[in-house]
Structure 1
Amino acid sequence: MSTFGAAANTNPNKSYEVAQPPSDSISSLCFSPKANFLVATSWDNQVRCWEITRNGTVVNSTPKASISHEQPVLCSAWKDDGTTVFSGGCDKQVKMWPLTSGGQPMTVAMHDAPVKDIAWIPEMNLLASGSWDKTLKYWDTRQSNPVHTQQLPDRCYAITVKHPLMVVGTADRNLIVFNLQSPQTEYKRIVSPLKYQTRSVAAFPDQQGFLVGSIEGRVGVHHLDDAQQNKNFTFKCHRENNEIYSVNSLNFHPVHHTFATAGSDGAFNFWDKDSKQRLKAMQRCSQPIPCSTFNNDGSIFAYAVCYDWSKGAENHNPATAKNYIYLHLPQESEVKGKPRAGATGRK
């Protein structure tokens, strides 16, 4: 019996559990850029918000509010002032939810197929939405029509923005790079350095490149400048024996600019791309981690633990497949970069 208990441990890293989690798989997590409010979207059609409070090493979560979509919700983003949440999903729309005023959610974007990812671009005061209808649309939330519709080569899977850099990952391993100073033209189209389907992307904090994660337990580190191509590399992660798992989430630390990966193996790891080192490998949870995020100062790392449907409906057991959101407090040693090999100078 004890071995089964060990095998079913969803929280081997002794993280803090978020109260009243979603009733179905969690599709996205995002923290407010201004305060410790955490939003989760779920396959139960709900968008939920919690207030996270921390007193020393004790962390508490208080459910604050929620809204409904008509179908599963796949993605979320905050406005940069922390007042408003955007959410999109299988009902082919993006809703804008003013949290501060207790206002009602309103539809601010529409597509012809599910909305897979969204990003708020503060420098442009626009919302970008990417869909399986093979378009990327920019929205002024005060207008009902998009400011611009960009055709994509295939279905959108992931978006990352660090103005002026935006990268959109689509089906068929396309990575479309935009310079948002001229957003209506593709800056560069890259075939993913990874041989399998793109699952996640994350722009470098210095806008000089991006990370891409695939379903095949691998991450690519890609620089945009042709003179920096010798710095590009890929590495394996989220593999166990002969099992290979998807890299579902890539998050840069807001202070140290190291990054976290989270995968369908139930593990999350912290990495330093500049020294090409893994800083910390955490214990594997007994279910996949479909999404994760840092709070605004990097002192809290939130991650979801739930079934991610990667092995189909036949492997989903509702009796055992509970849904969890956990909060990990990263120690500096886990997220602070290491000096590069061969680097000189005092530490």
Structure 2
Amino acid sequence: METPDFEIASPPTDGISALAFSSQADYLAASSWDNQVRIYEIQPSGNTAPVASYAHEAPSLCVTWSKDGTKILSGGADKAARMYDVTTGQSTQVAEHADAVKCVKFLDQGQQILATGSWDRTIKYWDLRSPQPIGSVQLPERCYSMDSVGNLLVAATAERHILLFDLSNPTTIFKQTISPLKWQTRTVACFIDGKGYAVGSIEGRVGIQYIDEKEQSKSFSFKCHRDDQKNVYSVNAISFHPTYGTFSTAGADGTINFWDKDSKQKLKLLPNVNGTVACTAFNRTGNIFAYAVSYDWTKGYKFAGQNPTNKIMLHAVRDEEVKPRPSTRR
């Protein structure tokens, strides 16, 4: 018998926009449309407790942790990125844009360096010791999704642009391309080895893209999050397992799949949650998988409903669900 998934106590009261685990301990941060960023402790027993929260002045759209687990960074529709210091319990504004901040990342280049991606069509780099950005890049369109591993930063914008940055030269676009998928990009995530990225779109497809020209022949796209009635659902989130490098996709159809890109296999399909899965995250060891059942705004405010569900679920990950398997192809 599979253990049922746990529901986190005291979830956000409006749409959940992003989830992120600390890289040091089992603490989960959630940003949401009620302007709040909430931090939950996940105990070994599976019990959860809200331990802290702080606010933006408009919906908070993204959240991430510093590498040492002492700070949380979030971006919001108030055009600001805010940092919460776990030790002092204080939050401060650390970045600003001319429009909503949709993506935030602490970079591997140092504890103090962060990147913010905005609907104002820029990525800005910040050093926490300075109030002004240390670098800025003009994007072709609004930044929708962003991820970074090692020296690689990938940004996905409106109109299906994908921009790659080598962070040893962060203000120069290293490579600019168009998504291999035909429709609007929803999410982008880097492979754990930094050799490529996965992109998900509103048409229920995922593209696996390698960066090195010698490996580009291994790139492929596949269909997912579609049903027997030929309905097509948005791929809202892609999360890579921190040790195995396999990955999850979560969709507006209420399903979550685990995949192995190397053997091109589906490893596991989780039961339908009867709602939209808006965002996902693995913890640092990959044995807990968090997902938010929450409206994803893909159909606009008309479909937001009178009593929308907003809950964060925790799935205890078993090795056989995420461990790579040898290819069955001859």
Same fold (TM over 0.5): yes
CA distance in 2, matches of 1:251, 1:329: 15
Question: What TM-score, normalized by structure 2, do the two folds share?
Answer: 0.97
Query: Is the CA contact 2:260–2:325 (under 8 Å) kept in the aligned structure 1?
Result: yes
Alignment deviations for residues 14-55 of structure 1 (CA, whole Å, 9 cap, x no partner): 310000000001000000000000000000000000100123
Matched, 1:245 2:233: yes
Query: Any idea what SS the aligned residue of 2:302 has?
Result: helix
Q: How far does residue 311 in structure 1 lie from its aligned partner after superposition?
A: 2.2
Aligned to 2:322: 335
Deviation for aligned residue 1:231: 0.5
Query: Is 2:217 aligned against 1:230?
Result: yes
Equivalent residues in 2 for 1:66-85 (5 A)? 66-85=53-72
Corresponding residue for residue 256 of structure 1: 244
Match of 1:37 among 27, 43, 51: 27
Query: In the alignment, is the contact (CA less than 8 A) between 1:13 and 1:283 conserved in 2?
Result: no
Deviations 1:211-253 (A, max 9, x none): 0111110000001111112111000011112211111111110
Q: Secondary structure at the match of 2:114?
A: strand
Identity over the aligned pairs, expressed in percent? 48
Candidates 83, 104, 128, aligned match of 2:115:
128
Give the letter for the 2:28 counterpart.
Answer: L
Q: Aligned-pair distance for 1:13?
A: 8.2
Contact 1:159-1:166 at 8 Å conserved across structures = yes
- 1:115-264 map, 5 Å: 115-124=101-110, 125-240=112-227, 241-264=229-252
Letter in 2 for 1:167: V
Deviation of the 1:68 alpha carbon: 0.9
State the structure with more CA Rg. Answer: 1
Letter in 2 for 1:216: E
CA distance in 1 between partners of 2:309 and 2:269 (Å): 24
How far apart are the structure 1 equivalents of 2:194 and 2:108?
15
Mapped to 1, the partners of 2:232 and 2:3 lie a distance apart of 22
Contact 1:304 1:326 in 2 (8 A): yes
Partner in structure 1 of residue 100 of structure 2: 114
Unaligned runs of 5+ in 1: 1-11
Partner residue in 2 for 1:15: 5
TM-superposed CA distance for 1:256, in Å, is 1.0
93-102 or 272-281, larger mean C-alpha shift: 93-102
Give the SS at the match of 1:116.
strand
Unaligned runs of 5+ residues in structure 2 are: none
SS for the counterpart of 1:314 is helix
CA distance in 1, matches of 2:328, 2:134: 47
Shift of 1:316: 2.4
Equivalent of 1:92 in 61, 69, 79:
79
Q: CA–CA distance in 2 between the matches of 1:42 and 1:189?
A: 31
| Equivalent position of 1:283 in the other structure | 271
> In 2, Cα distance between the equivalents of 1:294 and 1:14?
17
